[in-house]
Amino acid sequence: MLARDRGRFADARKRLNECPLGSAALAGTPFPIDRRMTATTLGFDRPTGNSLDAVSDRDFALEFLSAASLCAMHLSRFAEELVIWCSAPYRLVELSDKFTTGSSIMPQKRNPDAAELVRAKIGRILGSFVGLLTVMKGLPLAYAKDTQEDKEPVFDAVEALTLSLAAMEGMVRDLTPNLARMRELAGGGFSTATDLADWLVRELKLPFRSAHHITGRLVAKADARQVGLADLSLAEMQQEYAAISEDVFSYLTVDASIASRTSEGGTAPDNVRDAAKAWIEVLS
C-alpha cells in the first residue's frame, strides 16, 4: 500500500511541477520574457502551457490531496490493526509508554492513543480534499478569489499526514510482538480445516465439494468434544471417510499450514522474508 502511495505522489509531481510565472492575470504578457528560463531557475520541470488554465487550475493541490487521502486511509487501516492487536482480547503486540497513555478510569489499562489518532487523521485529510474539490466545482476559467481557499486545506493535510507517517514509523519500531499469544490464537477456530480439505483433494483425489462436507463433519465432531482437529483419533476420522490415513496429522499443525502457502504472494515464512527484504529495499 505504501509503495502505491509513494508512486501516486511521484506521479502527481510529474504533472504539478509546472511554473505559472509569466501567465500574468490571465492572458500572458506582451513583454519579451523567457518563461522556460524562469521555470528552470526556480526548479520546475517546465512552464505551464496555458495562461488561463495556469491562473485558475488547482489540480496540483487536488491531486496531492487525493493521494494524501489514500495514504491516510492506508495508515488508518494499519492503525486499526494496531488498536486491535493491543486490545485485551488479543494482546498480540505491546506498545511502550511512548505511544500509549493510561486510562482515565482503569489504572491497569494502556490506551494506544497514537494509533487511534492516526486512525482519525483520515477525517481531516479527506475533508480537505472534499472541501477544495467543492470550492472548485463551479469556477469558470481564469482566476477567481474562491481559489484562495486552497492554502489552508493543503497545509493542514501536509501537517496531518507528516505527523501520521512519523507516528506510524515510531509505533512499528517500538512495538513488541507477543509470539506465544500469536501462536495460541493462530491455532484456534479450527484454522487448519482448509488444510484438511486440501489434503483430501490432493492425496485422496476427492472433489473439493466432497472434501468440504467431510471436513465440516469432522469439525463438528471436534467441536462437540471441545478439541482441535489434530486431537481427533485416526479412527474417529475414518468414521467419516475410511481412506484417511495417519499422514493427515502432519498437515494439521499451524506451522505446516503456514509453510504450505508457497504460491507467489503467499504467506509462507520464506515468502514473507523475501517480500520483506524486497519492500524494505524499495521503500528505503
- 46-77 pLDDT, tens digit per residue, is 999 999 999 999 999 999 999 999 999 999 99
Q: Are 122 and 72 in contact (CB under 8 A)?
A: yes
Q: For position 239, what pLDDT does the model report?
A: 96
Q: pLDDT confidence of 223, banded at 50, 70, 90? A: very high
Give the other-Cβ count within 10 Å of 23's Cβ: 21
pLDDT at 157 over 70: yes
Backbone angles phi, psi at 192, to 5 degrees: -95, 15
Q: Which residues, in sequence order, are bridge partners of residue 15? A: none
Cell numbers of 263, please? 504460491
Q: For position 136, what pLDDT does the model report?
A: 95
Q: What percent of the chain has pLDDT over 90?
A: 90
Mean pLDDT, all residues of the chain: 95
* DSSP string covering 9-30: HHHHHHHH-EE-TT-TTTT--S
Q: Regarding beta strands 176-177 and 93-94, do their DSSP bridges make them parallel or antiparallel, or are they unpaired? A: antiparallel
Q: For position 107, what pLDDT does the model report?
A: 66
74 CB-contact burial (10 Å; exposed 0-12 / middle 13-18 / buried 19+) = middle
237 CB-contact burial (10 Å; exposed 0-12 / middle 13-18 / buried 19+) = buried
Mean predicted confidence (pLDDT) in 202-221? 97
Give the other-Cβ count within 10 Å of 270's Cβ: 10
pLDDT at 142 over 90: no
Q: Which of 26-30, 67-71, 103-107, 245-249 has the lowest mean pLDDT?
A: 103-107
Q: For position 227, what pLDDT does the model report?
A: 95
